[in-house]
Amino acid sequence: MAAEILINSGLRETRVARLENGHLVELHIEHGSSRGIVGNIYKGKATRVLPGMQAAFVDIGLNRTGFLYVNKVLDPNKIEARTAGYHDEEFEDVEEDIDDAPEKHIEIQSISSLVREGESLLVQVIKDPMGSKGARLSGYVSIPGRYLVYLPNSNTLGISRRIENTEERSRLKKIVEKNQPKSGGIIVRTVAEGASEKALKGDMEYLIKLWGSVKKNHEKHSKPGLIHADFDLALRILRDRVSEDVDRIIVDDLQLYRKMNKFVQSFLPRFKKRIELYKEPISLFEHFGIESDINRSISRKVWLKSGGYIVVDETEALTAIDVNTGRFVGKRNLEDTIFQTNMEAVKEIAYQIRLRNLGGIIVLDFIDMEKSMNKDRIYTSLLEELSKDPVRTNVLPVSEFGLIEMTRKRTQESLRKKLTAACQYCDGKGYVKSVSTIAYEILRECEKEAQNESHGQTLQVYCHPTISQFLTEEERGAVEELEKSSKKRLAIKIDQSLHLEEYEIFSKEN
């Protein structure tokens, strides 16, 4: 499976697309004003302890308090017993599975015996804030490197389940045991397969030094706030998602290209030749057809080649995906038509789940089939397609109502929630692109127009009042940067007649 990673760095925005066999399968977006905080480590202060919920609210210096469950509270007296906590949820946050962690019964204590109001805590974010909910926190810190994850509050030594070769597992275990620090646990990541002892040892030394820095920063800070920030999106992708199946990493910004080369030279020297600087006049995402794929990824209805379609509805509690025959009438009989539509939908559903980054409970409503054999084939095919997804899923067989219930781990908002906002024209019953998404689209278009030497010295942008306000206030700095780099003036004008998503750009002489 040939994979490519495209990195588009714009004004205050980074977008990363992963292509497999030429098709977009993942899209990650990070805005300068709203970076994700998963992996960040904070000095926190317990503001409320709720025995009835076995949880505490923790001030970490952000607008909303974080949420800390009792089983995520670090209990220094039970570190060895609590190492099993890394067996599933914690470790999945760095997208791994281990099977060498000890399984022990953990007696859940009362939250009141572990946390007191006003107490200072060192915590790590394991889930970004979503909607009205604050960040999910853990007292069990995990610091990921390229090949290893360092667990300072554990004595675990684990190896990713995805490394299946017995001899390789044994080799890696011996290397880690030989170099393991006196305190703290080590997890070997999937990408460590085939890595040299020198590379593993270097990664371990880096992580231990980083943890020392975290501890010093924690002691220095007297108030709740950020102690250690994880890498930005581009470097996280390099660290966590680049493996031997990635043929090319293409970046369209010279400064970021140099930054990534420096990182690769230090941690991934064998990938250095795979990083390319994109220099073509047409934008990187347009060149690879990504922009149209993005618009399709937030559509409610997705058509299948046969004429059938699926409908994706995200709600607060779950995501429902409905399969319909649409225009497809088949050639033989009704059961055959339904089965063919469902089989085609399976591939598209697995693809859309991954592309849209859907998480939590997902209910798939396939068209009712009479034959048990057909139901089993649908279920088996779905498992096969979902196995390509790096995020863990749990899937139940087709029910008697033709439904498949499944879950997919969620640490961030879905693509639709990132790119859209509740529509003000239909009282939240539909969706439009968010103000920031439209604003960044305008900036990209202006950047493109500014490269045309035949155009005038002023770019006039006519847009909705809300967009105008966002560009002139929230992103004034970005506008000024564009004017400086392009040596052209950007005049932003209000047009009350335009829909929120509509805008017009004209070029004129001063």
Structure tokens at 355: 């592309």
Residue 275 is assigned to a structural domain of this protein = yes
Q: What is the pLDDT of residues 131-146, one digit of tens each?
A: 778 999 999 999 999 9
Mean pLDDT score of the chain, rounded to an integer? 87
Which neighbouring-strand residues pair with 151? 185
pLDDT confidence bin for 330, thresholds 50/70/90: low
**Does residue 390 sit in the same domain as residue 318?**
yes
pLDDT confidence bin for 103, thresholds 50/70/90: very low
Mean pLDDT computed over 211-218: 92
pLDDT confidence bin for 287, thresholds 50/70/90: very high
Residue 256: its H or E element: helix 254-267
**Does residue 74 sit in the same domain as residue 198?**
yes
pLDDT at 112 over 60: yes
Q: Out of 200, 231, 262, pick the residue that ends a domain.
A: 231
Structure tokens at 409: 């781990």
Residue 176 is assigned to a structural domain of this protein = yes
Q: Out of 292, 308, 332, pick the residue that ends a domain.
A: 292
Which CATH number belongs to the domain containing residue 267 in this structure?
3.30.420.60
Structure tokens at 98: 């281990």
**Does residue 256 sit in the same domain as residue 181?**
no
User: How far, in Å, CA of 347 to CA of 356, rounded?
Assistant: 14
Q: Return the C-alpha torsion angle 114, 117, 121, 125, nearest 10.
A: 100
pLDDT confidence bin for 331, thresholds 50/70/90: low
What is residue 36's predicted lDDT score, i.e. its pLDDT? 80
- Mapped onto helix, strand or coil, the DSSP state of residue 228 is strand
Which CATH number belongs to the domain containing residue 208 in this structure?
2.40.50.140
Mean pLDDT computed over 480-503: 91
Say how many domains are in the chain: 4
**Does residue 449 sit in the same domain as residue 410?**
no
What is residue 413's predicted lDDT score, i.e. its pLDDT? 84
Residue 452 is assigned to a structural domain of this protein = yes
Mean pLDDT computed over 392-399: 92
The DSSP code sequence of 13-79 is: EEEEEEEETTEEEEEEEEETTS---TT-EEEEEEEEEETTTTEEEEE-SSSS-EEEEGGGS--GGGH
Question: What does the angle CA 98 – CA 104 – CA 105 come to, to the nearest 5 degrees?
Answer: 130
**Does residue 224 sit in the same domain as residue 155?**
yes
Residue 421 is assigned to a structural domain of this protein = no
pLDDT confidence bin for 162, thresholds 50/70/90: confident
**Does residue 98 sit in the same domain as residue 212?**
yes
Residue 90 is assigned to a structural domain of this protein = yes
Domain enclosing residue 122, as ranges: 41-231
**Does residue 336 sit in the same domain as residue 381?**
yes
Residue 239 is assigned to a structural domain of this protein = no
**Does residue 54 sit in the same domain as residue 18?**
no
Q: What is the pLDDT of residues 39-82, one digit of tens each?
A: 999 999 999 999 999 999 999 998 899 999 998 998 766 554 33
What is residue 93's predicted lDDT score, i.e. its pLDDT? 39
pLDDT confidence bin for 95, thresholds 50/70/90: very low
Q: Out of 231, 258, 279, pick the residue that ends a domain.
A: 231
C-alpha to C-alpha distances, 374 to 371, 381, 484, nearest whole angstrom: 5, 11, 62
Residue 265 is assigned to a structural domain of this protein = yes
**Does residue 323 sit in the same domain as residue 409?**
yes
Residue 424 is assigned to a structural domain of this protein = no
pLDDT at 435 over 80: yes
C-alpha to C-alpha distances, 147 to 93, 176, 212, 457, nearest whole angstrom: 15, 11, 19, 50
Structure tokens at 149: 């994850």
User: How far, in Å, CA of 27 to CA of 464, rounded?
Assistant: 27
Buried-exposed string 381-404: b where 16+ CB fall within 10 A, e elsewhere: ebeebbeeeebebebeebeeebeb
**Does residue 65 sit in the same domain as residue 146?**
yes
**Does residue 501 sit in the same domain as residue 481?**
yes
The DSSP code sequence of 390-410 is: SS-EEEPPPPTTSEEEEEE--
**Does residue 324 sit in the same domain as residue 438?**
no
